[in-house]
Amino acid sequence: MTQDPPSISIAPPKDTAEVNEFVRIVSQALVFPPVDYEDFVRREGRENITATYVGDKVAGGVILQPMGMSLGGRILPLACVRVVGIAPEHRSKGLGHAIMDHVIRDSYKKGFPLSALFPATLPVYRRAGFELAGSRTTYRYAMATIGKLKRTLEIREATNSDRPILEGLYAKRLARSPGNIQRNDWAWERIIDPPSWWPRSYGYIVEQDGHPAGYVYFAQKPGGHITDNTISVVDFSWESAEAGLSLLSMIADHRSMATAFEFCGSPSDPATLLMCESAIQKTTRYDWMLRIVNLKDAIERRGFHPNTVAELHLNIDDPTIQENCGNCIVSVSDGQASFKKGGDGRLTASIRELASLYSGFMSAESLCASGGITGDKESIATASGLFAGPIPWMSDMF
């Protein structure tokens, strides 16, 4: 007689043994370097780990880091999806879909309007309602590109006690940079006190008129020869051209031991305007995905241009969250949106396709060209104007 397949369930791990088994599985699935299990769990937070089971055995799982995302100058709560991993022997059984369905429903219950992730593959996440909605762009330059800049400001080494200063400077960047995340303890710790299995980072703060004006954290990436060494910027931000030039000057002072440096920035990053030359050795772009979990909250908590006055009639389909479905009206004025059910449904989209428009990553016209949305010309133009802005980006990765 044929036996029924083992049941699939999703729940927090019950004990330390199950937590360790989860870490072992995702380490293999995602090709982690050897990690200290205890330190990994401390950093991630055991409360953020969810396991998936086949029968009574851990078969994989996911970590959700609660953070925030800047959109339209406002911060929205964000469920950051990390380390979705399944043991090799349990793949192709629908566990990935089950995990992501759980993530969306659980995020909705917990009050997150948005969820985001960096995909290893697109189909499984698109099936869950995620779509490409922003970029992470890494630039690589030869040291000579910076040129011999004059350092006009004082720079000092940063310490862990400087975190409030770093947070204050980053908050200014966050407000003007759509897609950047509002970092939690986990995210800040990875920058200023990285785990032992990561390269050591070095932090510095630049001061102007007696006040902090910028910072940089970087790691040294040794190559096979001195000519292959790279300075890899983990994070940097500045509030004036003088501060930016001083930080770049300090990076350039490593040219005797490193021939290149790299950093993550926006698709049109101001750092490129401070270089003496524009010869980029390499640009690597990794797009992240966004999922609108609670449509009403996502619309009403997002910021909009203060001069925009518009009304948009949408028809939305969401196979997972029924409350997001149907006709709705988005009205915007004074930088604030209101959302209510009803209207004519003149612009039609799935919750997945709406994510690219909502973040400002794609215009409504582009989504029409790809078959993502349909609607009359007036509604398409209104939608593009409503969500237009700088291309969303982030330097963090999770």
Distances (CA, A) of 298 to 292, 318, 397: 7, 14, 22
Q: Distance between CA atoms of 202 and 221, rounded to whole angstroms? A: 12
Per-residue pLDDT of 219-262, as tens digits, reads: 999 987 877 899 999 999 999 999 999 999 999 999 889 999 99
Q: What is the pLDDT, as a whole number, of residue 47?
A: 97
Residue 275 and residue 357 in one domain: no
- Domain residues for the domain of 379 are 294-387
Per-residue pLDDT of 254-286, as tens digits, reads: 988 999 999 999 999 999 999 888 888 999 999
| In-domain check, residue 397 | no
Q: Would you say residue 2 has pLDDT above 60?
A: no
Q: Would you say residue 1 has pLDDT above 70?
A: no
Angle separating helix axes 16-29 and 37-44, nearest 10 degrees: 90
Per-residue pLDDT of 31-43, as tens digits, reads: 998 899 999 999 9
Q: What is the pLDDT, as a whole number, of residue 33?
A: 87
Q: What is the pLDDT, as a whole number, of residue 146?
A: 87
Average pLDDT over residues 140-154: 87
Residue 191 and residue 312 in one domain: no
| In-domain check, residue 3 | no
Backbone angles phi, psi at 313, to 5 degrees: -100, 115
Residue 68 and residue 168 in one domain: no
Q: Distance between CA atoms of 154 and 115, rounded to whole angstroms? A: 40
Per-residue pLDDT of 352-378, as tens digits, reads: 999 999 999 999 999 999 998 999 999
Residue 309 and residue 344 in one domain: yes
Where residue 148 falls among pLDDT bands split at 50, 70, 90?
A: confident
Q: What is the pLDDT, as a whole number, of residue 14?
A: 97
Residue 95 and residue 225 in one domain: no
Residue 207 and residue 276 in one domain: yes
Residue 300 and residue 277 in one domain: no
Instruction: Give the DSSP H/E element, type plus range, for residue 367.
Output: helix 364-369
Stated pTM of the model: 0.94
Residue 300 and residue 164 in one domain: no
Q: Are 37 and 23 in contact (CB under 8 A)?
A: yes
Residue ending a domain, among 95, 129, 163, is 129
| In-domain check, residue 150 | yes
Q: Are 129 and 319 in contact (CB under 8 A)?
A: yes
Residue 100 and residue 240 in one domain: no
| In-domain check, residue 58 | yes
Residue 69 and residue 141 in one domain: no
| In-domain check, residue 176 | yes
DSSP conformation class of 293: S
Q: Which of 73-87, 145-159, 179-193 has the lowest mean pLDDT?
A: 145-159
- The residue behind tokens 């990053």 is 269
Structure tokens at 303: 């910021």
Q: What is the pLDDT, as a whole number, of residue 161?
A: 94
Average pLDDT over residues 321-330: 98
Q: Distance between CA atoms of 232 and 218, rounded to whole angstroms? A: 5
For residue 182, the cross-strand partners are 68
Q: How many domains does the chain have?
A: 3
- The residue behind tokens 């370097």 is 33
Q: Are 135 and 360 in contact (CB under 8 A)?
A: no
Domain with 322 in it: what CATH number?
3.30.1050.10
Backbone angles phi, psi at 100, to 5 degrees: -70, -35
| In-domain check, residue 1 | no
| In-domain check, residue 398 | no
Where residue 3 falls among pLDDT bands split at 50, 70, 90?
A: low
Q: Are 159 and 368 in contact (CB under 8 A)?
A: no
Residue 75 and residue 148 in one domain: no
Name the percent of the chain lying above pLDDT 70. Answer: 99
Average pLDDT over residues 172-187: 97
Residue 146 and residue 261 in one domain: yes
Percentages (nearest 5) of helix, strand, coil residues in the chain: 35, 35, 30
Q: What is the pLDDT, as a whole number, of residue 150?
A: 78
Q: What is the pLDDT, as a whole number, of residue 240?
A: 96
Q: Distance between CA atoms of 22 and 8, rounded to whole angstroms? A: 15
Per-residue pLDDT of 298-325, as tens digits, reads: 999 999 999 999 999 999 999 999 999 9
The mean pLDDT value of the chain amounts to: 95
| In-domain check, residue 394 | no
Per-residue pLDDT of 116-129, as tens digits, reads: 999 999 999 999 99
Where residue 144 falls among pLDDT bands split at 50, 70, 90?
A: confident
Does residue 305 sit in helix, strand or coil? coil
Domain with 275 in it: what CATH number?
3.40.630.30
Residue ending a domain, among 225, 259, 286, is 286
Where residue 4 falls among pLDDT bands split at 50, 70, 90?
A: low
Per-residue pLDDT of 15-26, as tens digits, reads: 999 999 999 999
Residue ending a domain, among 234, 251, 286, is 286
